[in-house]
Amino acid sequence: MEAILKRYFGYETFRTGQRELISYIVNNESALGILPTGGGKSICYQVPGLIRGGLTLVISPLISLMKDQVDSLNAAGINAAYLNSNLKAAEEREILTGLAYKRYQFLYVAPERFNQLAFRQMLNQLDIRLIAFDEAHCISKWGHDFRPSYRQVIHFTRQFDCPFLAVTATATIDVKKDIQSLLGIIDSHVIETSTRRDNLAFKVDPTYQKEKMVREYVKKHQDDSGIIYAGTRKQVEALSEQFSHLKINHTIYHAGLSKNEREENQAKFVHDDCPVMIATNAFGMGIDKSNVRYVIHYNMPQDLESYYQEAGRAGRDGLESECILMFSEQDIRLQQFFISTSDESIQEKKKEKLEKMIHYTKTTQCLQGTIINYFNPDEHLKPCGKCSNCLSQGAYDMTNEALKILSCLIRMKDSVHRLLLIKVLRGEDDREVKDYHYHLLSTYGLLKEYETKELNRFLDTLLFNGYIHEAGGKMICHPSAKEVLIKKMEVMTHYEPVNYKEKVTIKTISEVNEQLFNELKKVRKQLASDLSVPPFTIFSDQTLILFAKKMPTTKQEMIHIEGVGSYKLKHYCPQFLDCINEYLSMAR
């Protein structure tokens, strides 16, 4: 497996969760992978597809994603194609002929293609050895991007004697169980890694001067690529007008534009011709542009799934990036209106999700931790140290209360649910407390002067700082609690919401020759233009940074850099080596 990974994709080792998923597929067993954006989901079906041979059928609800994936595979020397409504008749005939002659290793199709009888009959003639469901949350009726056509595809795919692999970046417990049920995936074959993205700094900004903030931010980061999401087409147009007046290079995307306009504007952004994209949520899902340095939400989305999916388009290359959410009470009213116009059968569920989204804008706990806790309530939390809440100073020293809470939890020995712990701390005369003899503990009633709401706030602070772990609705002390119990480490919390107004900055490159990095970007841009592919399919910013840091002068040195595979070494690296050697000769 590692040999395939290195040869075609240029990586020495697999990321967390990838090897396990690939092993299931190689052993002819279906699996579900829930990996964060930028976590390498596509490799989870591309590597086993190459190992198993034959044809891998990738079902994707996103036309833009298909093209990016196929471009990337072809750039790595892997034969791939896609079938969707964007193809001309002659192009489609050429691909169908290629499939008949077994020219392709990967075929990407949209779910709607299965409505065609001729297509389904054609599939029966192919040697399909793996079926991958990309953006699998779209299969589930509980997913935030549910596509009924995607769900209907499953019936047609059951006839093939091959494993299924479903991958997604965002799946709540309900969505995960729904996907498993539909595809027949057992619990032990679900690989779910943390949604934590250590390179992302999440910010919440409740400013009333949204336009001013966005203008100043974009002007300050004019060399960076970024996305600004607005709630309506009208807002997109208004921001675009301001940017045009300020001569800020940008483009726009919303459903009101013609198909050609949308495709043209998307291409400008993906190919780095326009660094800034202003768009509604019609843009972005499946856009595999790795060097987006910031995502700004001008308006609050309807749920955390949508927010994390959109914000997660920042920093896919692993470099430091920012996700800024601006919100106002007007945003809440707008989302409530959208919910009122939706199907009555799902309105209550949408209202619950909106409440969680509102909670995110109000919480004083770690923002990254809040997102992680939403998707996986059992995951152990720790502060990210870089979000707007982590960077702001807590207003209240709760170290004394923390000592009492942790001491009480330890004395209760077994893991206990939150409400029972609060009852003991408050010294309540409760039957459950007495049944377990907790009223006899020395810690019984230690915090009787506090209300339940206040104790919940203290517990949340300990939870989000990693001192308490909550899984399956039960709380236990984490080993890190010793830092408070023994070392008396200070624990701060808030009684008032944070008013975060700190200026934000981005650091994308450290200890790198920036002049060489910019020259390498020019080489990549020209090469991508010659091949008519997006620049990031040649090499990511991260790989170019490694070039600029290590300055390889031979192919032997370059092959050891992450992101350089055998195919790219032969076809692309000579131009980059020439650039590096020319730079070094001028520097001498």
pLDDT digits (tens, 9 = 90+) for 62-96: 777 788 889 889 999 999 999 988 888 999 999 99
Place of tokens 């119990």: 485
CATH class of 200-376: alpha beta
CA distance 115 to 155: 12
At residue 247, the pLDDT reads 92
Residue ranges of the chain that CATH labels 1.10.10.10: 396-493
CA distance 19 to 14: 6
CA distance readout (Å), 191 to 2, 13, 24: 19, 18, 10
Q: CA torsion sign, 249 to 254 to 258 to 259?
A: positive
Looking at this protein, which amino acid is placed at residue 546? L
Contacts 24+ apart (CB under 8 A), 580-583: 580/516, 580/520, 580/547, 580/551, 580/552, 580/553, 581/553, 583/513, 583/515, 583/516, 583/519, 583/551
What does the block give as tokens for 316?
């896919």
Q: CA torsion sign, 537 to 538 to 540 to 543?
A: positive
In the three-class reduction of DSSP (H, G, I as helix; E, B as strand; rest coil), residue 220 is classed as helix
At residue 503, the pLDDT reads 38
Annotation: CATH topology of 2-192 = Rossmann fold (3.40.50)
User: Are 252 and 204 contacting, i.e. CB atoms less than 8 angstroms apart?
Assistant: no
CA distance readout (Å), 338 to 156, 165, 231, 335, 344: 34, 34, 11, 5, 12
Which residues, given as ranges, of the chain have pLDDT below 50? 495-510
At residue 67, the pLDDT reads 82
Closest to 386 in 3D by CA, of 452, 460, 320, 436: 320
CA distance 585 to 553: 11
Place of tokens 């800034």: 276
CA distance 135 to 41: 10
Residue ranges of the chain that CATH labels 3.40.50.300: 2-192, 200-376
Q: Which residues does residue 128 pair with via DSSP β-bridges, in sequence order?
A: 55
Q: CA torsion sign, 79 to 82 to 87 to 93?
A: positive
Q: Are strands 31-34 and 416-417 parallel, antiparallel or unpaired?
A: unpaired
CATH superfamily of 514-587: HRDC domain (1.10.150.80)
At residue 85, the pLDDT reads 84
CATH number for the domain formed by residue range(s) 396-493: 1.10.10.10
Residue ranges of the chain that CATH labels 1.10.150.80: 514-587
Which H/E stretch holds residue 105? none
At residue 452, the pLDDT reads 87
Helix count and strand count (H, E) for the chain = 26, 18
